[in-house]
Amino acid sequence: MYDVIVIGAGPTGSTAAKILAEKGRKVLVAERFPMPRYKSCSGILIKKSMDLVKQYFGEEIPESVMCLPTENKGMVFTDDKGQEFVFAQEGRNVWRSSFDKWLSDKAAKEGAEIRSDTAVLSCEEKEGYLMVSLKGETVYTEEARYVLDCEGVTGSLKRKITKASPWYITTFQTFNKGSVDLDPHYFYAYLQPELSEYDAWFNVKDNFLVLGVAVKDTGKIKFYYERFLAYMKEHHRLQIDAQEKAEKWLMPRIRPGCPIDYDVGRVLFAGECAGFLNPMGEGISCGMESGYCAACAVSEHMDDIENVYASYRSRTKPLKTYMERQWSLVGRMADTFRDFILLP
Ligand SMILES: Cc1cc2nc3c(=O)[nH]c(=O)nc-3n(C[C@H](O)[C@H](O)[C@H](O)COP(=O)(O)OP(=O)(O)OC[C@H]3O[C@@H](n4cnc5c(N)ncnc54)[C@H](O)[C@@H]3O)c2cc1C
């Protein structure tokens, strides 16, 4: 019987597993892909993420997981009137596959058992524990007192458990060789409604110029992406010599009030899967923090489920408030996000 089975070895799951193991809990992490696994991401770690890595894992982020330019100097927003706002802040530029593998190795070193290439298929509630069905080379079951679902946006288990229809944004980004007249140390977000249905972005990873758009309707990807390229050519002298890769992914579509799905029975949700995501898809810091909060709540109140629920909610309250404030900020920059504005 495990104390906790964690689903997913992203930043949320690995943080939770590391903390649970550190607190002496018997923890299994099931990750459906072989590690290191791919995750579509801009790979910008904001200052808060850097600090959380230091706080939870006791180390600075190693150079080996970074790409060039390793240093990120902040975000440049262009609002829906075309006005630029620079938010200067220290950050790092990483490849997610390497960064996430590094985190999961740290969880393993602390004593968490990691089974990659192993998908959780279902969880069945029993008296005081859960029967978890897993698929590795074969299908088999394990027992756990709690499941911490950190499966991210692409996971299907939460959909099965809650029976709720998820709200998605589709992201599309390309990796290109070429040139542009922007400082590669910044992440650029464009909020003009003519360029995307959510946001469009530009950043640099090693020698690649990464250009992306987010849409509500996948049929409109090509339309917005071409408009965004034209905009970048006109305003920033973008020149593309070769497109090396294009990829689609999903992001949770956060709604006004930033509702969070905390738990169902003995299953707790954390990270993106719970609905923690800051504007412009900054999800690593809130994934790590919610994973930490869930791990502490379970570990401290293992035998008292009502207190697990209460503790998880109260520990994540500052995180939710931070998230609401961030969304309110972009609400003031673009009509697309107007409903997020918090009233004084
Ligand atoms: C295009 C794009 C750009 C982004 N850029 C940034 C950025 O620059 N900075 C930032 O902070 N955030 C960024 N994000 C958001 C960030 O990637 C996510 O918020 C973050 O990865 C969430 O972490 P997580 O651990 O909750 O989920 P994930 O990182 O998605 O990890 C979940 C894991 O669970 C596994 N899994 C799923 N289902 C199962 C199952 N049934 N059984 C076992 N394992 C399962 C998955 O394979 C995956 O490894 C971006 C997102 C997108 C789409």
pLDDT tens for residues 248-268?
A: 999 999 999 999 999 999 999
CA distance 130 to 273: 19
Cβ neighbours for 58, distance < 8 A, ≥ 6 positions apart: none
pTM over 0.85: yes
Question: Over the stretch 142-200, which tens digit does the pLDDT of each residue have?
Answer: 999 999 999 999 888 999 998 888 789 999 999 999 999 999 999 999 999 999 999 99
Burial of 293 (0-12, 13-18, 19+ CB in 10 A): buried
CATH number of 2-67+95-166+254-340: 3.50.50.60
The rounded Å distance from CA 283 to ligand 1 centre is 8
CA distance 117 to 123: 18
Q: Is the pLDDT of residue 117 over 90?
A: yes
Q: Is 9 in the pocket of ligand 1 (CB under 6 A)?
A: yes
Q: Which residue spans of the chain are classified as CATH 3.30.9.10? A: 168-251
CATH 3.30.9.10 fits 168-251, yes or no: yes
CA distance 105 to 107: 5
Percent of the chain with pLDDT over 90: 97
Mind giving me the DSSP string for 7-19? E--SHHHHHHHHH
> For tokens 């497109």, what's the residue?
243
The answer to whether the beta carbons of residues 15 and 23 sit under 8 Å apart is no
> According to the model, what pLDDT value does residue 167 have?
87
Count the neighbouring beta carbons within 10 Å of the beta carbon of residue 141.
12
Q: Which residue spans of the chain are classified as CATH 3.50.50.60? A: 2-67+95-166+254-340
Ligand 1 pocket: which of 284, 285, 319, 323 to mutate (most atoms within 8 A of CB) = 284
Q: Is 196 in the pocket of ligand 1 (CB under 6 A)?
A: no
The rounded Å distance from CA 258 to ligand 1 centre is 18
Residue 59 is encoded by which pair of tokens? Answer: 């180390």
> According to the model, what pLDDT value does residue 336 have?
93
Closest ligand 1 atom to 285 CA = 11
Q: Is 291 in the pocket of ligand 1 (CB under 6 A)?
A: no
> According to the model, what pLDDT value does residue 164 have?
83
